[in-house]
Amino acid sequence: MESPSGAHAAPSLPAASTGETLSAAKAVLAPGPWLADPAWRSLVEPLGARVKKIVALHVDKAPQAHAGAVVFEDQDAFLLPLHHRGHWLFSCTSQEWDVEPDDIAAGLSAADLAQAHAVLERYAPGLSAHTASGRVFCDAYSPAREPLVRALDDSARVIFAGAANGSGYRLAPAIAAEAADHLGIGPAQRNSA
């Protein structure tokens, strides 16, 4: 966008849920699974990302001191030792698509539990009986199952960063670094200054 003086005007985003209007010279939009929020829905729809449910069970069995994460690649599931809490976290993706993050407050459904227990029974049958609690959430998934970091406007001043495909905690540092590079504030730009 150019102003009458020829200078670039800051892109304006729609009003926030508080009613405030935001404007900035550069911005990173990292909405997590809130892709359908009216404030940016039209900007992110062309990316083709969708939201899928993720189910996690707490396995009340203390992991051994040297235990590490166990990944079940074919099932898109993993067992993560939470040494500081004295239990394991078993996470697996559901096949329930296009969920709204604000609509899953009811928690784990009977179908979620049955699916998670079936996967756990297949790969770690001794642990299934030790699941006492759990949680459910969701994440944005890209069509290619790789995180998305790309410009949402022609001037590349609004960058989408996300669709971590259930691996946000692991991939967040790399996604943030790539978003900073897109905005011209990454290490390459800082080192050349």
Structure tokens of 105? 């407050």
From 87-96, 130-139, 179-188, the region with the lowest mean pLDDT:
179-188
pLDDT of residue 15: 66
Read off the pTM.
0.75
Residue 9 CA from chain centroid, whole number: 31
Q: Contact, 61 vs 130, CB < 8 A? A: yes
Bridge partner residues of 158 (DSSP): 27
Q: Which residue has the higher pLDDT, 24 or 179?
A: 179
Neighbours of 164 (CB within 10 A): 23
Mind listing the pLDDT tens digit for each residue in 43-61?
999 999 999 998 999 999 9
Q: What percent of the chain has pLDDT over 90?
A: 48
Q: What percent of the chain has pLDDT over 70?
A: 88
Spell out a b/e string for 129-155, using b for 16 or more CB atoms within 10 Å of the CB, else e.
Answer: ebbeebebebbbbbeeeebbbeebeee
Reported confidence tier of residue 104, pLDDT bands at 50, 70, 90: confident
Place of tokens 């969701």: 138
Mean pLDDT of the chain: 85
pLDDT of residue 168: 76
User: Is the pLDDT reported for residue 192 higher than 90?
Assistant: no
User: Is the pLDDT reported for residue 6 higher than 70?
Assistant: no
Reported confidence tier of residue 1, pLDDT bands at 50, 70, 90: very low
Strands, E assignment, 45-147:
50-59, 70-72, 77-82, 87-97, 131-141
Mind listing the pLDDT tens digit for each residue in 11-39?
455 567 788 887 888 889 999 999 999 98
Contacts of 20 by beta carbon, 8 Å cutoff, 6+ apart: none
From 137-141, 147-151, 163-167, 173-177, the region with the lowest mean pLDDT:
163-167
Residue 151 CA from chain centroid, whole number: 18
